[in-house]
Structure 1
Amino acid sequence: MQEPRKPSDKFHGDVGSFISASDAKSRTRQHRAFEEGKLGLKPDEITKAEFFGINRINKLMGRKDCVGIRIYYGKRYEDADGDPTTQDKGELKPRLVLVGVRADGSDIFEDTEGLKDRGDGDALADGAPCPQFC
């Protein structure tokens, strides 16, 4: 009998698989088809992707004890240009949130409570959405 895997077995620099362009295109095409079919959204209403700059990703990855990133699905209220708004002035849109992760699987958040300098942010968000910036 095989010994159960520890959570730390899943959190290292080589987790994930490279896939072919055709597989990537197929997966994203299926997502868009689901959104269109099940939710009745038009192609220009579906968030296909977000772009994040390499300098921001490197800064996130450069945090102490970081072995990788976790990408959370999130939502925020935005106007038609993708700028943040309040609930009564915008539409709830899907957005990604990237967080550094330690080898034990915990998210890397700096505890800045009560400090004058709140740091430079614990997570990376607000990438350039596609459509709008594809």
Structure 2
Amino acid sequence: MPKRDKFHGDVGQFLTGKDAVDRTIRYKKHKEVDQKCAPDTYIRGEFFGINRINSLLGRKDCVGIRIYYGKRYEDKDENPVDEGRGELKSRLVIVGVRADGTDIFDDKTGLKGDGDGDALGDGYTCPRHCAP
């Protein structure tokens, strides 16, 4: 795919189901080996609802999303806890992106309360909520 200067709605490639499965299996295998993790002790994926994703995509000037890797402290039931308590877990942060490549969550109005939808996080994690 040729490199483009603008961010737009057609960035990214669809994968075959086999390629997607192969990539996730490879990640799981290397995560367990590299960090000596048991299979059910690290987050392999997160589920986010379509209504939440559509809300991000519907923001003014949004042409796509960016997914950041983040971390937060959680208890054993995946509830957030104060820094230094519980366990530090990897979690995804999804934000809308403008055509110039800037993140939409940089809007200062998002500083009130629990947020106004500037970013999306705290999806259902796998292995806890994996596909049946």
After TM superposition, the score normalised by the length of structure 1 is 0.87
Distance 1:116 1:41, change over 3 A: closer
Match of 2:53 among 45, 54, 57: 57
Cα deviation, residue 7, structure 1: 2.9
Structure 1 alignment gaps of length 5 or more: none
Say how many residue pairs are matched: 127
What is the aligned counterpart of 2:128 among 110, 126, 132?
132
Q: CA RMSD in A?
A: 1.9
* Residues 64 and 76 (structure 1), Cα distance of their counterparts in 2 relative to 1, 3 Å cut: same
Partner of 1:26: 22
- Preserved contact between residue 112 and residue 118 of structure 1 (Cα < 8 Å): no
CA contact (8 A) 1:7 1:105 kept: no
Question: Identity rate of aligned residues, in percent?
Answer: 59
Which is greater in Rg?
1
CA contact (8 A) 2:75 2:87 kept: yes
How far apart are 1:131 and its partner, in Å? 1.1
Unaligned runs of 5+ in 2: none
CA distance in 2, matches of 1:99, 1:28: 23
TM-score (norm: length of structure 2):
0.88
